[in-house]
Amino acid sequence: MCQKGAPGEGSQSSQIDLAMQQHHHQIRGKGLGNKIDPAKFLAGADLTALLTDEILLSILARLPGGSSPYPCSLVCKRWLRLHGLLRRSLKLHEWSYLESGRLKARFPNLTDLDLTQASVLVPRNCSAVLLTHGSYTLPLTPDVVDIFPVERCIQEHELSPAALDSGLKILGDSFSGLQRLSLKDVYRERSIKGLLRVFDDSRAAVEEKKQQPIAVVTLSSDRASSKVVALSSERAPSSKMVAEIEAGLAYVARSCPMLQELELLQCTDEALTAMSACRHLQIVRLVGLVTEHYLGTFTDIGLTVLANRFSRIVKLELMGCEASYHGIAAIGQCCFMLEELTLSTKGFQRGWIAALSKCSCLKKLCLVSCRNIDVDPGPPEYLGHCSALDCLKLAKCDLRDRLGFAALLSVCRNVRELEFNDCWGLEDETFSMASKCRKTRLLSLEGCSLLTTSGLEAAVMAWKDLQRLRVTFCDSIRDSEVSPALANCFASLKEFKWRPDTRSLLAASLAGTGVGQKGGRFFKV
C-alpha cells in the first residue's frame, strides 16, 4: 500500500525517478548495451542538477546551523549562490567588500548587518600587538605605552569620512529591507573637534570685544540630516559645511525604512540628527565617550532629537553621553513605549534621577559601570517614582555614593526584582536602604563580597513577598551564620540558589574523603 506524505513530496520524488529513468534510457540508446553499468555512471553524476532552485533551497533551509556558514556552500558554485540567498545576518570585516558591490551579489537578502569591525582597517600581514575591544581589533605599534598613542593608533586605522559616506550610500541602495544595523561613526574630528574649536574661537573673540557670549545650538527644520550652529561670532560654521557631516547616515535612514534596531558607536548629536528619518526604530544602543576607544559624545540635544523622532523605542541603551535631567525627561515624555532602559552614568550631570519618574511605562532599569550614580539628586519630594517599574539591575556600580543610591531606590521603590552584580561598596548599612522596596519578590546577589549574613537577614526578613533568592560568590555570607529564622524563610521560597562561599561548599563536599586534612592527599582547603 502507498502511504501519503507531505504535500509536494510525492511529486518531487516522482520527478527525480522519472529523470533517472530517462537518463538510463539515454545511456542504453547509445548502443553500449551492458558494457557500462548505469548505477556506476549515475554515481558520478550530479543528481541535484535535476532539482529546481526552489526545491534545493527548501532542503538547505532545513539543515542545522542557523545563520552560520554552511559546509554545503563549498560543494559547487550553485550551492554557494543558494547559500547566499539563505543568509540573513552578517558581520563584515572588510569595508572594500562593501564598496566593490560584491556584498549585494553574494548576500542579496541580508536584514542584519554589523559594520563595526569593518570601520577599522587592519593590515592583513600584521605582526604587531593586537588590541581587541568589543567587536573590533586594531594593531598597536611598539611605542604605545599610554592613552594618547592608543587614540592615535585608532585614528590612523579608522575609516575615512569619505569612505564611510560612499559605503553607506551603497548600503542604502543595496539593502532597502535592512532591519538591524551596527556601525561606528568616524566623524569625531570634523563634528566634535571642529565645532569645539569654533566655540573656543568665538568665546575668545567675545571676551576681547567684551560682549555677552552667545552659543545657541538649534536644529534645522528643513533638513533632518543637518545641525545648524548659530553663534554671535563671524567664525561660525556655515550650514552647508555642517550639512555634509552626516550625509551617509542620513542616506541610510531614508533608504532603509524598515530599520528597527540600531547600534551606533562613537555617537554624536549630528549622527542622531542624521538618523532622525528612521521612524520605526525599536531597539537603540548609543555609545559616545569611552576612554581610549570611542571619542564621540552626545548631549541633551541629541537625546531630544532621539525622543522626538524615535517615539516607538522599546529598548534603549545610553553609554558615555553628557546628559542631564532635560534629556532623560524628554525621552520619558515622548517615548511612551519605552520598557527597558540601560544607562552608564559616566558623564551624566547631577539631578538626572528625578527625570526617571517621567518614564511612565518603564519596566526594567539597568545601571552598568557607574562610578557615581548622582552626586546631587535634589530634594526627595521632587524625585517622584516609576509606577510601572518591575526590575532594577545594578552591574559593576560603585554604591559608596549613598545619597545617589538612596535617591535611586526612592524612585524605584515599587520594583519587584532587585539584582546586584559585582557592585562595590555594598555594605550592610548601604544594603539596608533597599528595605524600602517592600514589594520585592526576587533578590539576586552576585560578587557582593562586603555584605554579611546579618545584613542579608535584616533585608530578607523585612520583605514579606519575597519568593526567589539567589546568592552567589558573596564571601562574607557564611553557612554557619544563618539563623533558624532565616533558614525557615529559605524553606518557604519558590526558588532558592545558595552558593555564597565556594570554599565552604568545597569543604562540605570533601567531608570524609581525607582530602584537605592534615597530611591530606593533594591540597589544602
Q: Quick: pLDDT tens for 125-180.
A: 555 566 665 555 666 655 555 555 556 666 677 788 888 899 999 999 999 999 99
Query: Per-residue pLDDT tens for 199-209?
Result: 344 344 434 43
Do residues 371 and 469 both lie within one domain? no
Q: Which among 457, 400, 395 is positioned nearest to 425, based on CA atoms?
A: 400
- Judge whether 399 lies within some domain: yes
Residue-level pLDDT at 322: 84
Same domain, 335 and 265: yes
Specify if 172 maps to a domain: no
User: Are 376 and 345 found together in one domain?
Assistant: yes
- For the cut 90, the answer to whether the pLDDT of residue 330 exceeds it is yes
**The pLDDT value given to residue 222:** 35
* Distance (Å, whole) CA 153 – CA 83: 37
Question: What is the C-alpha to C-alpha distance for residues 125 and 314, in angstroms, rounded to an integer?
Answer: 43
Element (H, E) at 262: strand 261-265
Q: Which of these three, 369, 397, 414, is where a domain ends? A: 414
Based on its alpha-carbon atoms, the radius of gyration of the chain, rounded to whole angstroms, reads: 31
Say what the pLDDT of residue 393 is: 96
Contact residues for 196 (Cβ-Cβ < 8 A; gap 6+): none
Contact 115, 135 (CB under 8 A): no
Question: What are the cell numbers at 64?
Answer: 542545522
Mean pLDDT of 94-101: 88
Q: What is the 3-state secondary structure (H, E, C) of 202-228?
A: HHHHHHHHCCCCCEEEECCCCCCCCCE
Q: How far is it, in rounded angstroms, from Cα 404 to Cα 402?
A: 5
Interval 245-288: pLDDT, tens:
458 899 999 999 999 999 998 888 888 988 988 888 999 999 88
456 and 343, same domain (yes or no):
no
Same domain assignment for residues 357 and 424: no
Query: Is 499 a member of any domain?
Result: yes
Of the candidates 355, 412, 352, the residue with the CA atom closest to the CA atom of residue 388: 412
- Nearest Cα residue to 223 out of 259, 273, 272: 273
CA angle, 254 as apex, 82 and 223 as ends, to 5°? Answer: 165
Residue 356 — pLDDT band, cuts 50, 70, 90?
very high
Burial 160-171 (b: 16+ CB within 10 A, else e): ebebbbbbbbbb
In sequence order, what are the residues at sequence separation of 6 or more whose Cβ sits closer than 8 angstroms to the Cβ of residue 507? 516, 525
What's the DSSP call for residue 158?
A: B
How far apart are the C-alpha atoms of 87 and 102, rounded to whole Å? 14
Are residue 398 and residue 265 in the same domain, yes or no?
yes
Helix (H) or strand (E) holding 315: strand 315-319
| Cα dihedral value 374, 379, 384, 386, nearest 10 | 20
Question: What's 410's domain CATH number?
Answer: 3.80.10.10
DSSP character at residue 69: P
As a whole number, mean pLDDT of residues 35-44 equals 53
Choice between 490 and 122, residue whose per-residue pLDDT is larger: 490
Instruction: Give residue 86's pLDDT.
Output: 75
Do 430 and 386 have their domain in common?
no
- Cell triple for residue 412? 524605584
Question: Tens of pLDDT along 456-490?
Answer: 999 999 899 999 999 998 989 988 888 889 988 88
> Do 346 and 264 share a structural domain?
yes
The answer on 451 and 348 residing in a single domain is no
| Nearest Cα residue to 93 out of 192, 173, 28, 159 | 159
Does 286 lie in the same domain as 391?
Answer: yes
Residue where a domain terminates, one of 365, 380, 414 = 414
In degrees, rounded to 5, the angle at the alpha carbon of residue 174 between the alpha carbons of residues 170 and 175 is 120
Q: Is residue 83 part of a domain?
A: no
Residue 183 lies in a domain: no
A 10 A CB-CB count for 15 gives 14
400 and 278 in one domain?
A: yes
Please determine, for residue 413, whether its predicted confidence score (pLDDT) is greater than 70.
yes
Residue 370 lies in domain: 260-414
Number of domains in the chain: 2
